[in-house]
Chains A and B, each alone.
Chain A
Amino acid sequence: MFALYKKELNYYLNNPIGYIIVILFATFANFMFVKDIFLVGSASLRPFFTILPWLLMIFIPALTMRIFSEEKRVNSIEILLTLPISERQIVVSKFLALTTISFIGLFLTMGLAFSLSFLTTLYLPEIIIGYIGAILLSALFISISMLFSSLTKNQVIAFLGSAITLFLLILLSSDFFATSIPKFIQDTLIYFSPGYHLQNFAKGVVDLRSLVYFLSLTISFLFLTIIDLKKRE
């Protein structure tokens, strides 16, 4: 399993595309946060965690779209599925490699916390818990994008399918629906939104419900990908 993890990680590290995606993400994330930092009037990382789902909505599908669809297009999936490695190991290895890459991207935004610490006193556990939430969010987005990538040979379709799905998920917690639907529906829908749960982490609180939300959904999507891979037809 480690062999496949290493192979996938090396793909991104030996290929400009990995660097381009990670550096673009870090640049956008830093820029989007810094541009409003003096307008917001509070030295906190919470605005960063508010924009993060919107950025990851584009960058995670871009990173993940090739993971299975490229293998299906060039038929290297036949090599993988005729090696003595289980479908579960294949999916988990690829998932961990992608999570590692997204972790590197998030790590590159930690300069923000460092810079802010010059302006004010930051509460370190809040930052750490916020970043744990960001990693969980990335993992969820990766698992969703992996499912789309395994459903098609076409990378563009995989990208669009997962980006639109993530967009709709994030939209559930935005003000967009607030005026048009009854409050009790809004309250229910919001529970399914990753942005809402990330905000719990951004407050520096490990809310068990949010933890269960991220882990259960991520595992569910990985499970669906494994089932799709086992189907073969």
Chain B
Amino acid sequence: MISLSNVSKKFGNIAAVDKISFKAKEGDIIGFLGPNGAGKTTTMRLILGYLHTTSGTISVYRMSPVDNRIKVLKTIGYLPENNPLYQEMKVYEYLQFITDIKGGDNIDEIIDKVDLHEYIDTKIEHLSRGFKQRVGLAAALISDPKILILDEPTSGLDPIEQEKIRNLIKKIAKKKTIIFSTHILSEVEDVANRLIIINKGKIIYDKSKPKGKGSVEKLFKKLVK
């Protein structure tokens, strides 16, 4: 489904991502961990074709995200880091805009799922951070994509909102491939079934999630010094 082989990305002389390889298949919920600047966001942007690799190959459904950009992007729902949105638009208007470009007819179902009913006529700039995050997530779910890439979906939210987003991810995870990055280690324990740890552009752990409470934190601290 998603395959990265020896992928590197350099910005000038600095390698943000250094010869990483992994595959993701249907049903994988991958927790993508790493300290700030480890290369998580860059890797996600490379999979989307938003950035181009310096070397190595990426394929999504055996297509290159750069050469078959449009076809690949139709299969992916993406929530970018810091969730940029068109603030001047109303919630429904924004979701309709994304639907018009991506296709799909599940807009009302998504509004149900993320519980945005009360705010569909509110301008996005007037929403709280938690609701903005829900709008971003709703936009990623439009056209029911097979792959979801979520860059820090719970960042900056209060614990209750975090739990709601986590539950939502678990609810929609069936028959999808989900890659999500986070700094909250317990979140990986709760949601993911596979763990990838990246540090200084290299993958240092890629296995199923270790069992037991606190085990992810222990592993992370051991590997990332």
* CB <8 Å contact, A84 and B102: yes
Interface contacts beyond A7-B97, A75-B82, A86-B70: sample of 20 additional A-B pairs, CB < 8 Å, sorted by A: A10-B93, A11-B88, A75-B80, A76-B84, A79-B84, A79-B85, A79-B139, A81-B50, A82-B50, A82-B80, A83-B98, A83-B102, A84-B73, A84-B74, A84-B102, A85-B101, A86-B69, A232-B51, A232-B52, A233-B11
Compute how far the CA of A110 lies from the CA of B73 in the bound complex, rounded to whole angstroms.
45
Interface range, B side? 20 to 34
Compute how far the CA of A10 lies from the CA of B97 in the bound complex, rounded to whole angstroms.
12
Chain B residue contacts of A4, Cβ below 8 A: 97, 101
- Is A120 engaged at the interface, CB distance under 8 Å to the other chain? no
Q: A residues within 8 Å of B by Cβ?
A: 2-4, 7, 10-11, 14-15, 74-76, 78-79, 81-86, 232-233
Q: B residues within 8 Å of A by Cβ?
A: 11, 45, 48, 50-52, 69-71, 73-74, 76, 78, 80, 82, 84-89, 93, 97-98, 100-102, 139
Chain A residue contacts of B89, Cβ below 8 A: 7
* CB <8 Å contact, A15 and B88: yes
Shortest Cβ distance from A13 into chain B, in angstroms?
Answer: 11
* CB <8 Å contact, A79 and B50: no
Chain B residue contacts of A14, Cβ below 8 A: 88
Chain A residue contacts of B52, Cβ below 8 A: 232
Task: Provide 7 A-B residue pairs closer than 8 Å at the C-beta atoms, listed in order of the A residue.
Answer: A3-B101, A78-B50, A78-B84, A82-B50, A84-B70, A84-B71, A86-B70
Chain B residue contacts of A84, Cβ below 8 A: 69-71, 73-74, 101-102
